[in-house]
Structure 1
Amino acid sequence: VWANRFDALGEEQLDALQRRARELEADGPLISILLPVYQTPERWLRRCIDSVIAQVYPKWQLCIADDASPDPRVMQVLEQYARHDARIEVVRRDRNGHISAASNSALELVRGDYVALLDHDDELRPHALLEMAEAVGGGRDIQLAY
């Protein structure tokens, strides 16, 4: 609701964001996103992953760790996304270790210059990673961005 009211993006705004993203594409950082997953309902899992795919800034890696979800559909959905986008990597844990263990498993997949955290039922705004890439660019010494 808040995003629709205060951060609605029309075609013109999205075009401007995509121009900014293209300017950064060659030299911008690779941002690795950690996504620990456990028994996430398919609707929310797809919305979460789709929000990453919809980013105007294209230099990202989505590192997903399934924390031994009992429902096989969770892994099926994750593997489907990984097959369709090489920036998505998936690992399945043999046993449930909770969010910290799953995050650490996802961390083992990281190739990026920066790491971002994403919860399995959250969604990113289309320009979230662009804002982060611009914030850490330009030689500024930023150690944490929110």
Structure 2
Amino acid sequence: MPKVSVIVPVYNVENKLPRCLDSLLAQTLSDIEFILVNDASTDGSYDILLDYEKQSPERIIVINCEVNQRTGGARNAGLDMASGDYIGFVDSDDYILPDMFECLYNKAVSNDYDIVDSPLFITGTETIREPIDDSFCDRILAPYERELLILSDGYIVTKLFKSSLIRDNRIRFRPNVKLEDADFLLKAVLSAQRFGNIHDYKYIYDNTGDPTTWSVRTTDSNEFDHIYSLLEEYGHILKSNSVAKECQNAIKAAILHFYKTGIFCCIHDDGTEMSHRELTNLIKIRNAKNNIFIKGYDNPYFQHTTNEYTIDLMKQIDKISI
């Protein structure tokens, strides 16, 4: 059994794919497997994957999906195949430093952590996104600490997850949508007992060009549909998960942020009148939010990051009827 399984969804990224795969094969951790999932690419990505599998069959497993399911569906296919004690994720247009998974794994086993995080380096802006403060890492997570993790806006790809955490809690990605990371991370944080960090960045996020790992198709739904789907999923988690109820202020703040984003998908900055479809979508997302909770703009986490104009706008939208 490998120590770590690394899952890489691949879609139409032939120009950047070799760089990613070379960085995987350069990993210093022994006993590691790489599960490369071709998400119905239409370029040469699949052929590149097969070439690398021939070069390193003891470490590389290639899965070919004939129907595109976006990043979430491709990652689920990888989860079905993964056999490692821990699981990591890499996006195929990014790359990683050689000791990434050795550092994350050593940290994870040092104190039986369920999740270990690391900083993210962003090319173009040459900036580093730090993970949340790890001052609480040596003890079982308390509700307030889970709330901090929920609010931290972290990344799937900088983390290492204990595979039993994902398996035992049946944590999966939603296929065929964007924003699939958010509810996966929420479920993982709600299920985890211990959380750790390393302090040096190991993951390089390529901030050039389009995000190919979204598996963008010409028949893509608009942004609103993805936000609406995520809003509904968060509402389901809040209502059905007992640990979520202990962290409801943070989860409700996240829901309000999704609601706010959905609003700005429907209205126009230049004051142009909304179309009937946009107005219908606005009411749809308003009702979805109200099905979770009616009041809540006094949420301290939400108020801390949202200006009064936006909150007033949201309150006015609550009064619209058609």
Question: TM-score normalised to the size of structure 2?
Answer: 0.35
Q: Work out which of the residue numbers 48, 53, 63 in structure 2 matches 1:77.
A: 48
CA RMSD of aligned residues (A): 1.5
Q: 1:141 Cα shift?
A: 2.3
Residue from 49, 64, 77 that aligns with 1:105: 77
Give the corresponding residue for 1:55: 27
- Deviation track 1:25-81 (CA, whole Å, cap 9, x = no partner) reads xxxx61100100000133x1001010010111122110111110012x211100011
Aligned to 2:104, the other structure's residue is in SS state: helix
What is the identity, as a one-letter code, of the residue corresponding to 1:80? D
Letter in 2 for 1:116: G
Q: How many pairs does the alignment contain? A: 116
Q: Which amino acid aligns with 1:63?
A: I
What's the CA shift for 1:137? Answer: 2.1
Q: CA deviation at 1:123?
A: 0.8
Q: TM-score, normalised by structure 1?
A: 0.75
C-alpha contact 2:37 2:75 (8 A) present in aligned 1: yes
CA deviations 1:69-95 (Å, max 9, x no partner) are 012x21110001111112100011011
Residues 108 and 115 of structure 2 are in contact (CA less than 8 Å); yes or no, is this contact kept in structure 1?
no
Give unpaired runs (5+ residues) of structure 1: 1-28
Aligned partners of 1:131 and 1:46: how far apart in 2?
23
Q: Distance in 1 between matches of 2:13 and 2:68?
A: 14
Whichever of the two has the greater Rg, that structure is: 2
Percent identity among equivalent residues?
A: 29
The ranges of structure 1 where at least 4 consecutive aligned residues each deviate by more than 3 angstroms after the TM superposition are none
The amino acid across from 2:26 in the alignment is A
Partner of 2:4: 31
Distance of 2:20 and 2:47 partners within structure 1: 15
Q: Which runs of 5+ in 2 are unaligned?
A: 118-322
Matches within 5 A, 1:125-140: 125-138=97-110, 140=111
SS at match of 2:74: helix
